[in-house]
Amino acid sequence: MTTTAAPPVTASSTLSPGELFARAYADDPAGAEVRFDYTITDAFQPTKERPRVTVRNLFRKRPVGMEPVRFWSEGRPDAGGAAAVHESGLRREAAFRFGTASAGVHPIRAWVRIPEELADDPEAVASFIDYRLLVRLATAENQALTIGEGGLLRHPEIGRLPYRHDWLSGLLAACDEIEQTGATPHAMIVNPRDYYTHLLGKGSLLTDLTRNGVQISRTRMVAPGEAVVGDFAMAARLLDAGRSAIRVGTPPPGTLSIDGPAVCAEIHEGLAVHLPTHFFHVVPA
């Protein structure tokens, strides 16, 4: 196996992850591996010419190691706890419960198989890795941070907010609920179908949200008719281990349609949700 350590990404770096892997692959097609001391979905953006906000982009980052970390948190009180706090009706957050929680990073992986016709062309291999494998990895990252193990919607204290009328009314109701806790609805995750059906080209709402500083991440990892709205910038942190790899290996059964060696990209991330009170999962009633 040929293992290559990639140089740290800097303003002067000229080689992409795909180009670095292509060099290792040319030397050892059966066992090439490149290790990076940064997270490759952050360091290289195949869609930079046509910007699109990923779920990762919504959070502030906290560099961590591979071990779980402990952090402060706040949670909603029970009915009796809220009643015992003066002015909790005016300031809901006055009754929140103080505590701590722990979370760690998890491996996030994506796989592709390099077409045989490209195997002897390092430039083509580099392009395939950069524009197919890393795109697949960004999709896997969206899934992990939204509905995967340790993802936002796996947190037991994220509030569900059912709506009885239309999707937009549910979306705006969530924004209001967040501000009623003294926070700001900084961002939302929506399904592309809802974005193109209810937001784009439908009056001024999308412009109004943009003017209000609301970021929107479009991903299939939230079901149509649903959304996640929250103060992403303040209420959670992306736990980033700052380590990645691209390597030849054998994927688990069912990963690809044809068995055999393939190329895997791997990163390590998780979420520390400090304020689950500042997120709402908008769902149909």
- Listing DSSP states for 202-241 in one string gives STTHHHHHHHTT-EEEE-TTS-TT-EEEE-HHHHEEEEEE
> What are the pLDDT digits (tens) for 197-228?
999 887 888 999 999 999 999 999 999 999 99
Residue 285 has what pLDDT? 94
Q: CA angle, 46 as apex, 58 and 236 as ends, to 5°?
A: 15
CA 273 from centroid of its chain's CA atoms: 13
Instruction: Examine the pLDDT at 110 and tell me if it is beyond 70.
Output: yes
Domain ranges of the chain: 17-284
> What are the pLDDT digits (tens) for 232-266?
999 999 999 999 999 999 999 999 998 888 999 99
Best-predicted range by mean pLDDT (84-88, 162-166, 219-223): 219-223
> Across residues 37-62, what is the average pLDDT?
84
Q: Which fold has domain 17-284?
A: hypothetical protein PF0899 fold (3.30.2320)
Strands 3-5 and 227-230: unpaired
> Across residues 59-85, what is the average pLDDT?
90
Residue 281 has what pLDDT? 98
> Across residues 22-26, what is the average pLDDT?
95
Instruction: Examine the pLDDT at 2 and tell me if it is beyond 90.
Output: no
Instruction: Examine the pLDDT at 94 and tell me if it is beyond 90.
Output: no
What does pLDDT average to over the chain?
91
> What distance in Å separates the CA atoms of residue 280 and residue 163, rounded to the nearest whole number?
12
Residue 8 has what pLDDT? 45
Instruction: Examine the pLDDT at 126 and tell me if it is beyond 90.
Output: yes
> What distance in Å separates the CA atoms of residue 264 and residue 246, rounded to the nearest whole number?
6
Instruction: Examine the pLDDT at 9 and tell me if it is beyond 50.
Output: no
Instruction: Examine the pLDDT at 10 and tell me if it is beyond 50.
Output: no
Instruction: Examine the pLDDT at 11 and tell me if it is beyond 60.
Output: no
**Confidence band for 13, pLDDT divided at 50, 70 and 90:** low
